Amino acid sequence: MSARVQLASIAGVILSLPARLVEPAMSGIQRGLGIKRMPWVFLLPNLVAVVLFALLPVFINVFYSMSGSDRLFPWDRPFVGGANYQSLLDCTNYLDPSTCSRDLFWRALGNTLVFVPVQVICMIAIALLTAICLNRDIVGRGFFRGIFFFPVMLSPVVVALTWQWILQRNGALNGLISAAGLTPVNWLVFPNTAFFWSVFVTVWAHMGFYTIILLAGLQAIPRDVYEAAKMDSATPWRVFTRITLPLLKPVMLVVFILAVIRSVQTFDELYVLTGGGPGSATMLMVQYIYEVGFASQPRNFGLASAASLFLGLALLIFTGIQMRISRGGNND
Amino acid sequence: MTDLSAPKSALSIREFATLRRGRKKSDWTDWLTYLYLFLGLVVMFTPVLWVAISSFKTPANLTEFPPTILPYAAQTVTVEGYDEPLPLFEVVGEDGETRQLAQLRRVGIQAQMIDPANPEERIVVPVGDATPVRQLYFATENYTNLLTSSGGQIWRYLFNSLFITAVATAITLVMNSMAAFALSKYRFRGSGIALVSILATLMIPATVVLVPTYMIVAQLGLVGNLWGVILPTVATPTGVFLLRQYMLTIPDELIEAARMDHASEWRIFWRIILPLSSPALAVVAIFSILSRWNDFLLPLVVLTRRESYTLQLALASFQTEYGVRYEILLAMTTLTALPLAFAFIFLQRYITSGIASTGIK
């Protein structure tokens, strides 16, 4: 008996219980409204949830970013126009965060601007290398695929605590280092090493996801293209740059955009691993939004909304540019 | 996809270990591949293994540096006339002979010890001459303490996590498949707009709408309530998209035949379309379970009361509250990771192929 059939039958048994009540009700609705309106009945629950928790919040967010005070509900909040944006942008020297009235915002922005490209490039490079290795005729491919994917399943909190345990002063890494005769390092106490490990840990946790997508892309490349290259006795490097990369380009684009969107939203791992520290060395934008809007008193929802709109706008522009570039490339 | 790792019949171990498809000879790129993959195995897997092993160490063993690989604990011995078990030490005597003695108490650099075989005579030993006798010991009390400490709160967190995951996934599946059914099997005015507005939410990062989402949850009176994290997450655009694409491949003749038999639209959906979509439903379910179980930011904002904490929130707050109690923290980390590790072992094939099929449109 296949696992698929088993899963389906278990789901079937569970789902049939409330169905006995729903079916007469839905038949009644159909008799009342007529068959033409039924698709809207099916759509309704999902549409309500989408509008309430995704589309409407975008508009409310715009209002939030233009209103002040620490009151939560929009009707309690006085309209302040661009004051929140002004406060975020209030700097005497834009290259030096400490001259800004919201210096933490600029530090978080700066960190994000360094973190995202470094993390995405490292992650995709490693994921691609891993996918290429896993695409070869090797023994135990399924096993290795599972191993590289495994951390994706772990919750970010578990990931962060795992690495914290390894990186702490008396941790396993320092144990290895001192066994090799070197002096142990306080990895998460210095800004530079903390930043390195924040990139490392997020790459470790998420690369498996992109490896699987890239692997599927690699397997979609027809084998005879490689056979032909072999006939022409092309070097492996040439095969990689002239065949694999160009044919993988559409998949790479998907992976790239997904990776950037995820990377910009990084929060959980670093919040638990470093708490944004030391100082503000690993504080990214989402944590800034959380700190300003939820963790600090008084809660500044207006500022948090303004910052999150910045983030959304930046993502939109980035995705647009990416799409444009890829389309331009295909026309050549 | 064929499973390359499956052993073909009647191969010797050596033949199996060097088994290759097609070509006979291994070249340097193969060795490089294996080297990389084994390095990956170490980097990807040992951290998790290390935490699992560490969770069985006693507090004294955990603070040791350099850390021991396996969990050890000081060996104790019960001696007649003493209620408590005494720690056992290996002592080098003046004659160069080593003896195992039990320590009574330590005074400065001197320790009072007794020979377990001869409890009457007290021996004073310099501390420097004594090393504790240790044995392999799995401190399972880390786990039992965790499960019983603070009135078994952990069961509450576990229940909250399970409740959120199960209920949100069930609602997601029903709601998404209803919408997908409408968008794939009917022609009606406005279907295009509905599809676009659902898919457009793909482009909205959850953090961007964090504040208004929280406001709506608060307005519904659901702050600190498990439903406050369930409702905002149930309408997933990827789920609708995936299920719709799958349902498009189900032939419409089935529906027409059912209508001939006067089946209601709901009956057609529930009895015909839904069972036929089970492979796609399985993928959506796995995605939903994974993301709901691991969710952190929304619960952190919405679940403000301690009784409503999920495992992830409790784990994160453990770190600050009992920062020094690593044995409890590590046990809880292992426990939180365990359900998914088991799920992964059984579902690995579905998960990896499911992700591969959804990543590329």
Q: What is the pLDDT of residues B254-263, one digit of tens each?
A: 888 988 888 8
Q: What is the fold of B76-132?
A: SH3 type barrels. (2.30.30)
**For residue B233, what is the enclosing H or E element?**
none
What are the distances in angstroms from CA A123 to CA A156, A210, A258, B287? 17, 8, 12, 21
Residue from the list A58, A137, A212 with its beta carbon closest to the beta carbon of B204: A58
Quote the crossing angle between the two packed helices A103-134 and A245-264, to the nearest 10°. Answer: 150
Quote the tokens at residue A25. 């009700």
Asked if A135 contacts A219 with a C-beta cutoff of 8 angstroms, the reply is: yes
**3-state secondary structure (DSSP) of residue B22:** coil
Q: The whole model's pTM is what?
A: 0.82
Contact B37 A254 (CB under 8 A): no
| pLDDT, average across residues A259-266 | 88
**B321 confidence band (pLDDT: 50, 70, 90):** low
pLDDT at A331: 46
Identify all chain B residues contacting A53, using CB atoms and an 8 Å cutoff. 209, 213, 216, 231-233, 235
Determine the longest span between alpha carbons in chain A, in angstroms. Answer: 81
Identify all chain A residues contacting B16, using CB atoms and an 8 Å cutoff. 139
**How many angstroms separate the CA of residue B32 from the nearest CA in chain A?**
9
Residue type, B12: S
**How many angstroms separate the CA of residue A98 from the nearest CA in chain B?**
26
What are the distances in angstroms from CA A53 to CA A187, B229, B266? 40, 11, 26
**3-state secondary structure (DSSP) of residue B27:** coil
pLDDT at B1: 44
Quote the tokens at residue B276. 């036929």
Residue type, A20: R
State pLDDT tens for residues B204-227: 888 888 889 999 999 898 898 899
**Is residue B90's pLDDT more than 80?**
no
**How many angstroms separate the CA of residue A268 from the nearest CA in chain B?**
6
pLDDT at A194: 92
**3-state secondary structure (DSSP) of residue A192:** helix
pLDDT at B180: 93
Q: Is the dihedral of CA A198, A200, A203, A206 positive or negative?
A: negative
The complex scores an ipTM of 0.83
Contact A74 B281 (CB under 8 A): no
**How many angstroms separate the CA of residue B114 from the nearest CA in chain A?**
34
pLDDT at A11: 67
Strand partners of residue A100: A91
Asked if B302 contacts B229 with a C-beta cutoff of 8 angstroms, the reply is: yes
Quote the tokens at residue A189. 């106490």
State pLDDT tens for residues B162-214: 999 999 999 999 999 999 999 998 888 888 888 888 888 877 888 888 889 99
Contact A142 B340 (CB under 8 A): no
| pLDDT, average across residues A7-12 | 67
| pLDDT, average across residues B343-352 | 71
Could you confirm whether domain B150-357 is CATH 1.10.10.10? no
The full set of domain ranges for chain B reads: 2-54, 76-132, 150-357
Asked if A267 contacts A282 with a C-beta cutoff of 8 angstroms, the reply is: no
| pLDDT, average across residues A290-311 | 87
Contact A49 B175 (CB under 8 A): yes
Phi-psi category of residue A69: left, alpha or beta, with phi > 0 → left and psi -120 to 50 → alpha = left
**For residue B124, what is the enclosing H or E element?**
strand B118-126
Contact B208 A149 (CB under 8 A): no
Residue type, B337: A
A145 burial type by CB count under 10 A (0-12 exposed, 13-18 middle, 19+ buried) = buried
